[in-house]
């Protein structure tokens, strides 16, 4: 049995099903990202694991102990599961040090101080130890919240969109620090997020949650390269969807014949999802396509390209991106995922 085993979890509020038959496994020391748009049921999943809510069906067990069943619920304080809420939720009446020490019970003063010092060091908060929460920036508050959750060495740490309130630059920096801290502690953790970049860059394993159902679980690269359906393909980064028909093992589309990555049936109709960075735009005065729009981002540029039959958005290396008005030939690099219609 896995370290954390979630089986057949279902919960609904009134008529609305929030989670439907959710099952997940996680091994000790792993970091799982649950990725999904807002309203997918991510926070509810965390609240169920933490023990704040009761499911209608299913069970949760951690380290061989059943924590949640529809009939019985181990209360949150006896689960040994740490939480890092979205808004940090530091105790406003306690200093940073006392916030971190809050969950350290049954330790001698010396041990407790040592553990707090260790966490202050790990989360780079040593200079801020005596500050009050209202004197901290958003990123600092999140680090304190993480240190507070990690302090009693919980079996599992739950992070609820911990970076969503921060600006982009800080988010990237903090993400790295959090990953380092979790790994240094050997913590098993679940992070929920709606940010695919965050999920892909942080986690060992990603689960995609949509409308209360787990749609796909796998390593980050697997999820990104082989999305289970068109929905995930478009949710995870820019994809261009093009209609196609399978002929002679290839997919015939308006962009030419493409090689399928997955198993296909001869004659099937469907769509292919092509990542915008998988287009290659070859400058060619005699080409049949034309650049009609260009948004420059520095490291890359997004180009709007009018091909004979349709207009696509392609991503190109920034400094070398073609200018508006240039003629190009469009190539698709590598293989593509084909999704037959009516699935």
Partner 1 sequence: MQRPLVAIVALGVFAALAALLPLGYLGLRLVEGFDSALAELMRLRTLELLLNSLALTVSVSLTALLVGSLQAWLTVRSDIRLPGLFAVLATLPLAIPSYVLALGFLSIFPWLQGFWASWFVMSIATSPYVFLAVSAALIRTSSTTEEVSRSLGYGKLQTLVRVTWPQVRPAAFASLLLVALYTLSEFGAIALLRYDTFTRAIYNAYRGSFDRTAAASLALILVAITLVVIYFERRYRGDNFSSPVAASRRVPTALGIGRSVAEIGLIVVAVLSVLIPVVALCVWGLSGSSSLDLPQLLAALGSSLSIALASGLLIGAFAIAIAIWHQRFRSRVSATIEASTWVAHSLPGVVVALALVYFGANYLQPLYQSIWLLIFGYLILFLPNALAPISAPIAQVPKSIEQVARSLGLRANQALKSVVLPIAAPGVLAGVAIVSLTVLKELPATLLLKPNGVDTLATRLWQATEVLSYAQAAPYALLLIIIAGVPALLLNSQARKLVSEVG
Smallest CA-to-CA distance from 158 within 46, 61, 34 is with 46
Q: Find the binder of partner 1 among 29, 152, 260, 340 (CB under 8 A).
A: 152
What Rg, from alpha-carbon coordinates, does the chain have? Answer: 24
What are the tokens at 159?
Answer: 């992070």
Minimum distance from residue 147 beta carbon to partner 1 (Å): 12
Given a contact cutoff of 8 angstroms between Cβ atoms, the answer to whether 143 and 177 are in contact is yes
Interface of this chain with partner 1, residues 121 to 140, rule: CB under 8 A: 133-134, 136
Burial level of 195, CB count in 10 A (0-12/13-18/19+)? middle
Length of the chain counted residue by residue = 343
85 belongs to the binding site for partner 1 (CB under 8 A): yes
Using the contact rule CB under 8 A, the part of the chain among 55-63, 73-81, 214-222, 279-287 near partner 1 is 73-81
Q: Find the binder of partner 1 among 29, 103, 237, 260 (CB under 8 A).
A: 103
Given a contact cutoff of 8 angstroms between Cβ atoms, the answer to whether 185 and 115 are in contact is no
Interface of this chain with partner 1, residues 194 to 233, rule: CB under 8 A: none
Q: Find the binder of partner 1 among 91, 297, 320, 331 (CB under 8 A).
A: 91
149 belongs to the binding site for partner 1 (CB under 8 A): yes
Distance CA 18, CA 24 (A): 16
Binding mask 14-53 for partner 1 (x = CB under 8 A): ------------------------------------xxx-
Minimum distance from residue 191 beta carbon to partner 1 (Å): 16
Given a contact cutoff of 8 angstroms between Cβ atoms, the answer to whether 217 and 26 are in contact is no
Phi, psi of 86 (to 5 degrees): -55, -45
Binding site for partner 1 (CB under 8 A): 50-52, 75-83, 85, 87-94, 102-103, 105, 133-134, 136, 141, 145, 148-149, 152, 154
């Amino acid at each position: 049995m896995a370290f954390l085993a979630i089986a057949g979890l279902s919960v609904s509020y009134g008529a609305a099903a929030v989670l439907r038959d959710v099952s997940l496994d996680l091994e000790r020391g792993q970091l799982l990202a649950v990725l999904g748009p807002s309203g997918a049921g991510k926070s509810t999943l965390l609240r169920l694991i933490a023990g704040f809510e009761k499911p209608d069906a299913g069970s949760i067990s951690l380290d061989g102990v059943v924590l949640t069943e529809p009939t019985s619920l181990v209360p949150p304080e006896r689960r040994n599961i740490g939480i890092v809420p979205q808004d940090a939720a530091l105790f406003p009446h306690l200093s940073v040090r006392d916030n971190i020490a809050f969950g350290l019970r049954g330790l001698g003063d010396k041990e407790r101080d040592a553990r707090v010092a260790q966490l202050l060091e790990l989360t780079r908060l040593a200079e801020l130890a005596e500050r009050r929460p209202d004197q901290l920036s958003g990123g600092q508050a999140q680090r304190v919240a993480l240190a507070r959750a990690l302090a009693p060495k919980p079996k599992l740490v739950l992070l609820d969109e911990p970076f969503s309130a921060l600006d982009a630059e800080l988010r990237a920096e903090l993400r790295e620090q959090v990953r380092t801290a979790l790994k240094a502690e050997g913590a098993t953790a679940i992070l929920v997020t709606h940010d695919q970049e965050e999920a892909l860059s942080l986690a060992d394993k990603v689960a995609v949650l949509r409308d209360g159902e787990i749609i796909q679980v796998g390593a980050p690269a697997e999820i990104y390269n082989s999305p289970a359906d068109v929905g995930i393909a478009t949710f995870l980064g820019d994809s261009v969807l093009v209609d196609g028909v399978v002929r002679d093992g290839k997919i015939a589309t308006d962009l030419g014949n493409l090689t399928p990555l997955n198993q296909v049936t001869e004659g099937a109709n469907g769509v292919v999802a092509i990542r915008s960075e998988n287009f290659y735009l070859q400058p060619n005065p005699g080409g049949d396509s034309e650049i009609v729009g260009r948004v420059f981002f520095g490291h890359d540029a997004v180009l709007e390209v009018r091909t004979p039959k349709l207009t696509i958005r392609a991503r190109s290396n920034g400094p070398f991106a073609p200018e508006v008005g240039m003629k190009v030939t469009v190539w698709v690099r590598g293989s593509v995922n084909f999704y037959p219609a009516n699935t």
